Amino acid sequence: MAQVTTTVTYDPDEYEFFVLEKDQAASVHVLLAQGKAPAMAASVSALFEETAEVEGNGLWTRAMVERLSEALASPVVRVALDTIAADAPDVVPYSKILEATGADRHVLRAELGSLTRLTDRLFNRPVWPMTKRQRMHGLPGMGYRMPRTVAAWWSAASSNASPVVVPASSTSA
């Protein structure tokens, strides 16, 4: 058993410090989440929530992905994210997203811009649940990649969303 020595400075009139065995942490989390200590429930929940790193876009959680899916009104962006998630963790070329969405380049660019504005509004920072980069992994043009964990969260959240219908006005002639 490894032993850790630490020094913690705190005001004992305002805070209480305790050490908890790992196998008891889930029980404490449940009690807090059930409202036994509502002011702390959200903070403790965040400590136990699984995160996934999205290169260039920070940490994502299942709750963030679900919130994005619920707020996403653009069928074009939903199809784009569904396409990227389906191929995770592989790189998806821009041309495949164009084909999947049926949108022309200008519409797709504008719709992806709306994703930036939406995430900025939802999370107070413009982040995407995927990485985008020119010539990613040697592919020509723009490529998109979503980590497997985020893709699984997205697929589950998106499958619970309302059916997607790509408007005829966004398709190329």
Do 115 and 31 lie in one domain? The reply is: no
Do 38 and 116 lie in one domain? The reply is: no
pLDDT of 120 > 50? The answer is: yes
Domain extent at residue 88: 52-170
Do 103 and 125 lie in one domain? The reply is: yes
77 contacts: CB under 8 Å, gap ≥ 6: 111, 112, 114, 115
The predicted structure's pLDDT at residue 170: 45
d(CA 167, CA 36): 48
The predicted structure's pLDDT at residue 29: 65
Do 38 and 111 lie in one domain? The reply is: no
Q: Which residue type is seen at 66?
A: E
Helix (H) or strand (E) holding 108: helix 105-123
Do 71 and 110 lie in one domain? The reply is: yes
The predicted structure's pLDDT at residue 122: 94
Per-residue model confidence as pLDDT tens digits over 152-171: 999 999 998 765 555 554 44
> Is there a contact between 52 and 59 (Cβ–Cβ < 8 Å)?
yes
d(CA 166, CA 173): 14
Helices (H) and strands (E) counted in the chain, each on its own, are 7, 5
Per-residue model confidence as pLDDT tens digits over 23-46: 666 666 666 666 555 555 555 555
d(CA 66, CA 136): 27
What number is the average pLDDT over the span 6-23? 67
How deeply is 63 buried, as exposed, middle or buried, from its count of CB atoms within 10 A (0-12, 13-18, 19+)? middle
Per-residue model confidence as pLDDT tens digits over 99-115: 999 999 999 999 999 99
Do 38 and 66 lie in one domain? The reply is: no
> Is there a contact between 100 and 83 (Cβ–Cβ < 8 Å)?
yes
Q: What is the CATH number of the domain that holds 166?
A: 1.10.10
Do 73 and 142 lie in one domain? The reply is: yes
90 contacts: CB under 8 Å, gap ≥ 6: 145
| Omega before residue 89 within 30° of 0, cis | yes
Do 44 and 68 lie in one domain? The reply is: no
Do 36 and 74 lie in one domain? The reply is: no
